Structures are given as C-alpha cells and as structure tokens.
C-alpha cells in the first residue's frame, strides 16, 4: 500500500502535541449532524539569536530545536553544530532563544522571497550552491518502498490530512523524518536534525511530500543532496535548477510509477 488508508484507526496519544479536536457540523445527503474533527495545531514561533529577533515562523509545535537549527543553517547563519552554544525553547511565550559562538548574519547573496507556499524563503542572486557530485545509486523498487514507508509513517497526516513531511534516507532506509504544517519547515527540521546528529545530506537522498518549487530545490541544493524524491509534481523552474545543479529529481506517483526529470543516471531498474 503506497498511500495510507483514509479510514485507518489512529492512536492519537502520540500526536496530541501536534493536533487538537474541534467541533463542527457536517452536512450530508442524510441531513445535518454534529461531528468532531482532528486538525493540526499551528504555532507562531519567534526566533531570537544573541538577543535579536531574527524571524517568526508559523510551524507545528514539535521538533522545535531541529527547526531552529535547520532555519539558521538554511539562512547561512550557522554552518555546524559548534556554532550554536545554547538554545532554549519557551513554549509559554512561543519563542526560541539561541546563542552563537560568533556573530552570525544571513548569506550576503540572499534576499527575502515570499515563497509559493505563502512562507518566506531566500532567493539566491547569484546562484551559489555547488553542484551535487555524489554517485548515489537507487533502484525504482527501492524508491517505491521508501515512498510507501515515508507516506505511511506520519500519524499526524493519517489523522488530519493537513501536514507535510520530509526525510533524509539512504536507498534502503529512512534515517530522519519530520512533520510540519509547512513544507519548508519540515525540510528545515530534517536538515536541522542532520546537523545535530552528524548525518551529511550530501551522501543521502531527500524525500518531500509536497511540490518541488525553486525555493525547495535550492534548500536541497544548499546541502548538496544528490537525489530529491517527491510524491507531487515539480515546477519548471524546479526542474531547471535540478538539472543545472546536478540533482536527480524524481516523482513516485500514486500508481507506483517513478518519473525522473533529470540526471536519471543515478536510477536503476
């Protein structure tokens, strides 16, 4: 089963932090009735670096430290785990306080961008990420198996249908997977976890549940991951950037068909 069943029974005990139950009214051909719905929670998280407010991001209230590490890494403010000397998450005030070993500023070649998902990203001018060089090989059967495991792993998605997921994997196994209401946040959480655990994304593939637009592709390119897999469709600019930056961009669709848009030499039958 590639995609999770819509009516499968979900154990909500492990996902209460990320979901909430609300009352609603359902209108059906049989009439009107009161129902309860499980929906995703949304947290406006303010990030302070060395006492200065750096960003406010709308996110899911889980894996906050991974998200902070990933955002600061994506923005070029930190490069390794040693750059951050302390981090404190205050859930009462929806804030994260970070201290760094050195003064940190965003990349000088980036500028603010309102992303296609409505969030704020970075647009690289000129394009700085180096091309991915790793000769990672993955078979279509491994891709289908990884995608099935990836899609069925999220209890929050199965309960709400309102969450995005991202993961870092080798051809055999998913190593890190994170959920968030924002696809950018989910990817930042994964890269933040990689930074904290010593996993180098340039030796592994990335899996994303959402659309591959240019800003998502650039996040992956900045970490030099050689293979990017999605269940959704990429944009033309996403494909163009993947081609230019040496990234194998592939989609595994609902019928288990693997479509590769560029650099298919890393994919085997």
CB 45 within 8 A of CB 67: yes
Reported as half-sphere exposure (CB side, CA atoms, 13 A), residue 50 has a value of 12
Residue 233 maps to a domain:
yes
In this structure, the answer to whether residues 116 and 167 fall within a common structural domain is no
Q: Report whether pLDDT(24) > 70.
A: yes
According to DSSP, residue 119 is labeled S
The residues facing 9 across adjacent strands are none
Task: Pull the structure tokens for residue 75.
Answer: 């923005």
Q: What is the mean pLDDT of residues 140-166?
A: 91
Residue 133 maps to a domain:
no
In this structure, the answer to whether residues 102 and 181 fall within a common structural domain is no
Task: Pull the structure tokens for residue 31.
Answer: 């009439």
Q: What is the pLDDT of residue 229?
A: 96
Q: How far is CA 116 from CA 9, 98, 122, 239, in A?
A: 33, 28, 12, 15
In this structure, of 15-24, 58-67, 106-115, the range with the lowest mean pLDDT score is 106-115
Which of 62, 92, 123 finishes a domain?
123
In this structure, the answer to whether residues 159 and 250 fall within a common structural domain is yes
Q: Report whether pLDDT(36) > 60.
A: yes
DSSP symbols for 42-85: -EEEEEEETTEEEEEEEE-SSSHHHHHHHHHHHTTS--SGGGEE
Q: State which residues form the domain around 52.
A: 43-123
Q: What is the mean pLDDT of residues 128-149?
A: 88
Q: How far is CA 80 from CA 69, 215, 267, in A?
A: 9, 22, 31
More confident residue, 23 or 261: 261
Q: Report whether pLDDT(58) > 60.
A: yes
Q: What span, in angstroms and rounded, lies between the C-alpha atoms of 238 and 218?
A: 8
Q: Report whether pLDDT(126) > 50.
A: no
Q: What is the pLDDT of residue 115?
A: 45
pLDDT band at 55 (very low <50, low <70, confident <90, very high): confident
The residues, any chain, with a CB within 8 Å of residue 30's CB and separated by 6 or more, are: none
Task: Pull the structure tokens for residue 26.
Answer: 């359902």
More confident residue, 12 or 18: 18
In the chain, the number of structural domains is 2
Q: What is the pLDDT of residue 122?
A: 47
In this structure, of 48-52, 89-93, 180-184, the range with the lowest mean pLDDT score is 89-93
Task: Give, in degrees to the nearest 5, the angle at Cα 76 between 84 and 262.
Answer: 130
In this structure, the answer to whether residues 157 and 74 fall within a common structural domain is no
In this structure, the answer to whether residues 108 and 147 fall within a common structural domain is no
Is the pTM here over 0.85, yes or no?
no
Q: What is the pLDDT of residue 128?
A: 54
In this structure, the answer to whether residues 93 and 181 fall within a common structural domain is no
Residue 21 maps to a domain:
no
Residues 203-230 pLDDT 10s: 999 999 988 988 899 999 999 999 999 9
CB 49 within 8 A of CB 104: yes
What is the SS3 assignment for 232? coil
For the chain, what is the mean pLDDT?
83
Q: What is the pLDDT of residue 4?
A: 47
In this structure, the answer to whether residues 154 and 248 fall within a common structural domain is yes
% of the chain surpassing 90 pLDDT: 51
Residues 232-258 pLDDT 10s: 889 888 998 999 999 999 999 888 889
Residue 12 maps to a domain:
no
Q: How far is CA 57 from CA 17, 68, 112, 164, in A?
A: 18, 10, 14, 15
Residue 13 maps to a domain:
no
In this structure, the answer to whether residues 111 and 228 fall within a common structural domain is no
CB 197 within 8 A of CB 175: no
Residues 67-118 pLDDT 10s: 999 999 988 888 889 999 999 998 788 899 999 998 876 554 344 443 444 4
pLDDT band at 31 (very low <50, low <70, confident <90, very high): confident
């Amino acid at each position: 089963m590639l995609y999770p069943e819509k009516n499968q029974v979900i154990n909500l005990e492990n996902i209460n932090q990320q979901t909430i139950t609300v009352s609603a009214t359902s209108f059906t051909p049989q009439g009107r009735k009161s129902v309860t719905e499980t929906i995703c929670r949304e947290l406006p998280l303010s990030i302070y670096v060395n006492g200065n407010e750096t960003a406010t991001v709308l996110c899911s209230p889980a894996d906050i430290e991974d998200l902070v590490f990933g955002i600061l890494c994506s923005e070029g403010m930190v490069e390794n785990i040693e750059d951050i000397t302390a981090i404190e998450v205050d859930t009462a005030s929806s804030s994260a306080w970070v201290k760094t070993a050195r003064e940190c500023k965003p990349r000088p070649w980036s500028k603010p961008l309102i992303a296609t998902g409505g969030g704020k990203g970075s647009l690289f001018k000129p394009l700085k990420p180096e091309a991915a060089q790793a000769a990672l090989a993955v078979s279509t059967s491994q891709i289908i198996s990884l995608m099935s495991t990836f899609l069925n792993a999220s209890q929050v998605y199965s309960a709400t249908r309102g969450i995005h997921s991202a993961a870092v994997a080798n051809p055999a196994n998913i190593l890190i997977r994170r959920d968030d209401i924002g696809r950018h946040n989910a990817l930042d959480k994964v890269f933040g976890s990689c930074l904290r655990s010593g996993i180098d994304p340039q030796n592994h593939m990335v899996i994303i549940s959402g659309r591959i637009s240019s800003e998502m592709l650039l996040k992956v390119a900045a970490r030099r991951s050689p293979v990017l897999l999605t269940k959704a469709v990429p944009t033309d600019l996403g494909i163009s950037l993947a081609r230019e930056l040496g990234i194998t961009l592939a989609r595994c669709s609902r019928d288990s068909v693997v479509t590769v848009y560029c650099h298919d030499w890393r994919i085997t039958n």
